[in-house]
Chains A and B, each alone.
Chain A
Amino acid sequence: MGGWGSILKLIAQRIALGVLLLLAVSVLIFMGTEILPGDVASSILGQAATPQALENLRRELGLDQPAIVRYFSWLGGVLTGDLGVALSNRRDIASAIAPRLANTLFLAFWAAAVSVPLAILLGLIAVRYRNGVVDKTISGLALASTSLPEFFIGYVLIFIFAVTLNWFPSFSTVYEGMPFWQRMQAIALPAAALTLVVLAHMMRMTRAAILNVMQSAYIETAELKGLSQFDIIRRHALPNAIAPVVNVVMLNLAFLVVGVVVVEVIFVYPGMGQYLVDHVSKRDVPVVQAVGLIFAAVYIGLNLIADIAAIIANPRLRHPR
C-alpha cells in the first residue's frame, strides 16, 4: 500500500531531525567545556605551572588551534569511534567506556524488562477499578515509591535484602566473564531500586492516557456490545493510548540509562554513572564530553523511537484512504 511510502518518509524526516539535534548538542557540549574558566592544560599542570610549560602542553594537546578546528577534529574522532584520551590517567576513553556502557545497558535493560510491563499492567488495573480502593492503593504506593529519593530506597533494599535476609549482595560487583546468574543476582537490588523509581510515572501516565481514551464514543459502543470491562480496556482503549504511553516509557528508559548515577554509586556498580562522577570530580573534560555525548545520543535515540512508534501506531498514517 502507498501508506508505507509516506510513513517511511515521515520516519526518515524524524531520523534526520534527530541527527541534526545530536549535532547541535555536540556543539553545546563542546562550547560548554570551552566556556569553563581555565583550560585543560592549566588543570593538568595545576596552579604552579610556568607559562612556558603551559605553552608546550597546549601545543602538544592541540589547544593552540582555533575552537572551530578543534571542534571538527573532536567530532571527526567521535564519528570514527575515537573519543580521545582521558587526562587523569591517559587511557583511551572509548575502550574504558565500552564495558561500563555495556554494564549500564545491562542494568537498564533488566530494570526496564520488569518495570515497563508491570507499570502498564498496574495502569490497566487502576483504570479497571478506577476511583476505587484498588486504584487508590496502587496509585498511593507507586507515588510513595517515586517520592522517596532513590538513595533512600537503595539503602532500605540493602538493609532488608542484603543485611537482614542475606539474599543478595549489597555491592553489585560485576566483572568480565561473570556467569549470567551471578550477574543477575548482583544487579537484583539496583534493578529493583530503579524499578521503584520509574514505576509510578509510567503507571500514572498509562492510567491517564487510557482514561482519556475511555471518554470516547467507541468505548460506549464496546460497552453496549456487552464486553467485560477488562476487554474494553485492553482491546479498545489501550491500542489508542499507545502513543502517549510509549512516549513516557521512552522518557523513563532514558532515565534508566542516564539517570542511574546515584544508584550506581550506592551499589558500587561499575557503570557509566560512576565513571562520570569519578571524572567530573577530576575535571577530566574529554571524558565528561564523551559521556555527555553518549547520554545525549541515548536520550535523543529513545525519543526518536517514541516518535516513530507513535507514527506507526496511527492507523490513519498506516492506512491512508
Chain B
Amino acid sequence: MAEALKHKTHGDALLEIRDLKIEATVYPPDEDPHDITIVDGISLKLEKGKVLGLIGESGAGKSTIGLSAMAYGRGGVRITGGEVILNGRDIMKEKTRGVRHLRGAEVCYVAQSAAAAFNPAHKLMDQVVEATVEHGRASRKEAEKRAVALFRKLSLPEPERIGNRYPHQVSGGQLQRVMTAMALCSEPDLIVFDEPTTALDVTTQIDVLAAIKEAIRDTGVAALYITHDLAVVAQVSDEIMVLRHGKTVEWAETRQIIEAPKEDYTKALVAAHAIDHEEQKPAGSPALSVKNITAAYGGGKIDVLKDVSVDIFPGQTLAVVGESGSGKSTLARVITGLLTPREGEIEFAGRTLSPKLAQRTRDDLRELQMIYQMADTAMNPRQTVATIIGRPLEFYFNMRGKERDRRVAELLDKIEMGTGYADRYPAELSGGQKQRVCIARALAAKPTLIICDEVTSALDPLVANEILKLLLELQREEQVAYLFITHDLATVKAIADSIAVMYQGKVVRYGTKSEVLKPPFDDYTDLLLSSVPEMQLGWLENAIAGRRMESGGN
C-alpha cells in the first residue's frame, strides 16, 4: 500500500488523523460492562478541496471517524488515542470553547436523515443561518443572502421563499439539500457527509448526489463522504478508504478501488449483487391473483392503489418496485387483509379471499406470511428465538413440547443458524441474524406465499446478499412464492422472475423479468433504471444527461 499512498505526502493537509483510537463502554445483558474498541489505528490525510469517501458496513466505524473531525463522540464513545489535526492544530487538545468554535464554522455536518436532523419547531431559514450568525461568520442579513444563493445552486424550488417553510413542509430530498446548504452557509473548510442520500428514493438520490457534487466542486470545500454504497461514493470522491471492524482495509484513489481493488474484502464489495438466478417462466395457475384492486386509506377520496392486477405463480418471485408513496406497501396490506380494498378481489389457490382480515380462516392466514424491513421491531424483544419461531407452530399446527423443539431446530438449520441460538434474545443477534429468524418464523407456517417488504433495505450490502441467496435457496427447497417489495432495482435484477413497476398507485409496467428489463422503456421505468448507481466513474453525469423525466423529489 506504501506506493499508493505516496501521492498524499505532499500538498496542503487540511485534516490529518494519526493513529486514531476510539472506545466505548458496552453493557451486554449477561456480562459486566466492559470497554470495546470501535476504531483502531486509523490514519488519514485530506487536502484542501478534496473529497475522501469512507466506506464500510455498519459497525465499521465510518461515522465515528467522520465525527472525530469535529471532536464529537456520539452516544458516549470516547476518542482515547491519536491526533486529529485540523488547520494545523490538534483539536483533541482544544477546550470546550475551542471545540465549539470549530463546529459549525470550520467543519460542518450533513446527517443521514435530514427529516430528523432539522428542528420541527423552527423555520428552515432560522436553522440554516444559525451557525453562521452564531460564530460571527456573517451578519444575519448577509447569511440569509448566502443561504438563498445556496438554495438556488442546489436547485431547490422557490429559493427566495423556501426558507420560510417548516421542515415538515418540504420533501425528504429537498430537506437533504437544505441541510447541505446549511453546512455550506458558514463557508467551512470541511464538510462531513454522513450517508446523505441513503434514506432517499433511488430517483431522488441521484438529484441530491448531483447537487452535492456540484456544490463541492464550486465552493472548493473539502469533504469526508461516508456511505455503505460503493457505487455512490465512487461518483463524488477523489479517494476512497475502505473500512472494516474499525480498521483500514484499503485506501487509494477512486479509480483504483473500483477498477483494480487489491484486498479481498474490497473485491467482495465491488462484486456485490452477483447472484445466479435463472428466470422462471409463469407456469400453471397462479398461486395468488390480484384482480383490479383499488384502495384508499380511511375511506378517503385519494386512491392509493388504482386498478392494480398482478399474478404470482407457485414457487416464483414477483418483484414490486417503485419509489416511496407508489403504493407498494399498500398492496401488501390489501393482500394480507389489513386494508379492505374499495374495489377488486384477491384470488388465492383458486378461492376468493375475504377482503377483511377478521373473516379469513386460519388456513388463509397461515398460507400468507410476511417478513418486514425492520427485523428489530418485528420481534418481541422479551422472547427467545425459540419462542418466536415456535409460536406459529403452536398456533397453526398445535405442536407442543419436544415435537415443536425439533421443528424449531430444523428451521434454525434451514436458515443456517445453529440450535445454539434457540435460547438467545433478539438483542443478542446481528441485523442479518434477526432477519434470518424472521424468515424462519414465516417458514414455520408452511406458507404458499411470503410477502417480503423491503427485507434487505436495512442491511449492509454483503449481508443483504447472503439473505437474498438464502431466500432463493429456501424457495427451491420449499416451493414457496415471494412477493418481493423493494425500491432497490439491483435486488430485483438479482432474484425476480416477474416484475411489476408501480408509480403513483398504478402498475405502469408488468411482465417477466426479461420483458420488463428489455428496451424500449416507458419514461418512468427508464428513470428508475437509469437512477440505480453503477460502479463506474462518470456514471452520475451520464445518467443525469440522459434523463427523459424529472424525478418526484424535484
Bind each other: yes
- B109 contacts partner chain A, Cβ-Cβ < 8 Å: yes
**Are A218 and B131 in touch, CB under 8 angstroms?**
no
| Of B100, B102, B104, B119, the contact of A218 (CB 8 Å cutoff) | B119
When C-beta atoms are compared, the residue in chain A nearest to B109 turns out to be A224
- B105 contacts partner chain A, Cβ-Cβ < 8 Å: yes
Q: Could you say which of A92-100, A124-132, A225-233 contacts chain B?
A: A225-233
When C-beta atoms are compared, the residue in chain A nearest to B75 turns out to be A220
**Are B131 and A225 in touch, CB under 8 angstroms?**
yes
Q: Could you say which of B110-118, B249-257, B332-340 contacts chain A?
A: B110-118
**Are A315 and B121 in touch, CB under 8 angstroms?**
yes
When C-beta atoms are compared, the residue in chain B nearest to A222 turns out to be B119
**Are A226 and B122 in touch, CB under 8 angstroms?**
no
| Of A227, A228, A240, A319, the contact of B166 (CB 8 Å cutoff) | A319
Residues of the A chain whose Cβ atoms lie less than 8 Å from the Cβ of B213:
none
For window 259-307 of chain A, which residues contact chain B by CB distance below 8 Å?
none
Residues of the B chain whose Cβ atoms lie less than 8 Å from the Cβ of A217:
111, 113, 116-117
**Are B109 and A221 in touch, CB under 8 angstroms?**
yes
- A9 contacts partner chain B, Cβ-Cβ < 8 Å: no
Distance to closest chain B CB from A123 (angstroms): 18
Residues of the B chain whose Cβ atoms lie less than 8 Å from the Cβ of A226:
99-105, 131, 134-135
| Of B67, B72, B169, the contact of A319 (CB 8 Å cutoff) | B169
C-alpha spacing A236/B121, complex, angstroms = 8
C-alpha spacing A217/B116, complex, angstroms = 6
Assess A315 versus B120: contact at CB under 8 Å? Given A225-B130, A226-B102: yes
**Are A221 and B118 in touch, CB under 8 angstroms?**
yes
When C-beta atoms are compared, the residue in chain A nearest to B121 turns out to be A239
C-alpha spacing A19/B245, complex, angstroms = 62
Distance to closest chain A CB from B97 (angstroms): 9
Distance to closest chain B CB from A126 (angstroms): 20
C-alpha spacing A235/B108, complex, angstroms = 19
C-alpha spacing A223/B117, complex, angstroms = 11
C-alpha spacing A235/B118, complex, angstroms = 13
**Are A216 and B116 in touch, CB under 8 angstroms?**
yes
For window 113-140 of chain A, which residues contact chain B by CB distance below 8 Å?
none
- B281 contacts partner chain A, Cβ-Cβ < 8 Å: no
Distance to closest chain B CB from A194 (angstroms): 32
For window 212-261 of chain A, which residues contact chain B by CB distance below 8 Å?
216-218, 220-228, 231, 235-236, 239-240
Most buried by A among B101, B105, B121, B166: B121
**Are B103 and A321 in touch, CB under 8 angstroms?**
no
**Are B119 and A227 in touch, CB under 8 angstroms?**
no
| Of B74, B101, B135, the contact of A220 (CB 8 Å cutoff) | B74
When C-beta atoms are compared, the residue in chain A nearest to B122 turns out to be A239
Residues of the A chain whose Cβ atoms lie less than 8 Å from the Cβ of B100:
226-228
- A90 contacts partner chain B, Cβ-Cβ < 8 Å: no
Assess A221 versus B166: contact at CB under 8 Å? Given A226-B101, A226-B135, A236-B119: no
C-alpha spacing A240/B135, complex, angstroms = 24
**Are A221 and B168 in touch, CB under 8 angstroms?**
no
C-alpha spacing A217/B117, complex, angstroms = 5
Most buried by B among A221, A228, A231, A239: A221
Distance to closest chain B CB from A128 (angstroms): 13
C-alpha spacing A231/B105, complex, angstroms = 17
Residues of the A chain whose Cβ atoms lie less than 8 Å from the Cβ of B379:
none
- Tell me how many residue pairs across A and B have CB atoms closer than 8 Å: 75
**Are B70 and A224 in touch, CB under 8 angstroms?**
yes
C-alpha spacing A236/B122, complex, angstroms = 8
Chain A interface size range: 20 to 34
**Are A223 and B120 in touch, CB under 8 angstroms?**
no
**Are A218 and B105 in touch, CB under 8 angstroms?**
no
Residues of the A chain whose Cβ atoms lie less than 8 Å from the Cβ of B121:
236, 239-240, 315
**Are B117 and A240 in touch, CB under 8 angstroms?**
no
Residues of the A chain whose Cβ atoms lie less than 8 Å from the Cβ of B119:
218, 221-222, 236, 239-240
C-alpha spacing A226/B105, complex, angstroms = 8
When C-beta atoms are compared, the residue in chain B nearest to A219 turns out to be B119
**Are B166 and A224 in touch, CB under 8 angstroms?**
no
When C-beta atoms are compared, the residue in chain A nearest to B107 turns out to be A224
Distance to closest chain A CB from B479 (angstroms): 44
C-alpha spacing A269/B108, complex, angstroms = 60
| Of A221, A227, A240, the contact of B134 (CB 8 Å cutoff) | A227
When C-beta atoms are compared, the residue in chain A nearest to B126 turns out to be A235
C-alpha spacing A223/B130, complex, angstroms = 12
For window 97-155 of chain B, which residues contact chain A by CB distance below 8 Å?
99-105, 108-109, 111, 113, 116-122, 130-131, 134-135
When C-beta atoms are compared, the residue in chain B nearest to A241 turns out to be B121
C-alpha spacing A221/B168, complex, angstroms = 17
Distance to closest chain B CB from A311 (angstroms): 14
| Of B103, B108, B120, the contact of A316 (CB 8 Å cutoff) | B120
C-alpha spacing A315/B109, complex, angstroms = 25
**Are A225 and B103 in touch, CB under 8 angstroms?**
yes
**Are A225 and B134 in touch, CB under 8 angstroms?**
yes
Distance to closest chain A CB from B77 (angstroms): 13
**Are A315 and B168 in touch, CB under 8 angstroms?**
yes
Assess A316 versus B130: contact at CB under 8 Å? Given A226-B101, A226-B104: no
Residues of the B chain whose Cβ atoms lie less than 8 Å from the Cβ of A228:
100
**Are B117 and A221 in touch, CB under 8 angstroms?**
yes
| Of B101, B103, B108, B166, the contact of A223 (CB 8 Å cutoff) | B103
**Are A224 and B104 in touch, CB under 8 angstroms?**
yes
**Are B117 and A220 in touch, CB under 8 angstroms?**
yes
C-alpha spacing A236/B99, complex, angstroms = 20
Distance to closest chain A CB from B178 (angstroms): 12
C-alpha spacing A18/B129, complex, angstroms = 43
C-alpha spacing A216/B167, complex, angstroms = 15
C-alpha spacing A218/B121, complex, angstroms = 10
| Of B72, B113, B120, B165, the contact of A240 (CB 8 Å cutoff) | B120
Which A residues are within 8 Å of any B CB, using their own CB? 216-218, 220-228, 231, 235-236, 239-240, 315-316, 319-321
Which B residues are within 8 Å of any A CB, using their own CB? 67, 70, 72, 74, 99-105, 108-109, 111, 113, 116-122, 130-131, 134-135, 165-166, 168-169
Give me 12 A-to-B residue pairs in the complex whose CB atoms sit less than 8 angstroms apart, sorted by A's number. A217-B117, A221-B109, A221-B111, A221-B118, A226-B101, A226-B105, A227-B130, A239-B121, A240-B120, A240-B121, A315-B168, A316-B166
7 nearest A-B residue pairs (beta carbon): A226-B103, A225-B104, A217-B116, A225-B131, A239-B121, A226-B104, A226-B100
5 new A-B contacts at CB < 8 Å, known A225-B108, A239-B122: A224-B103, A225-B103, A225-B131, A226-B134, A320-B169
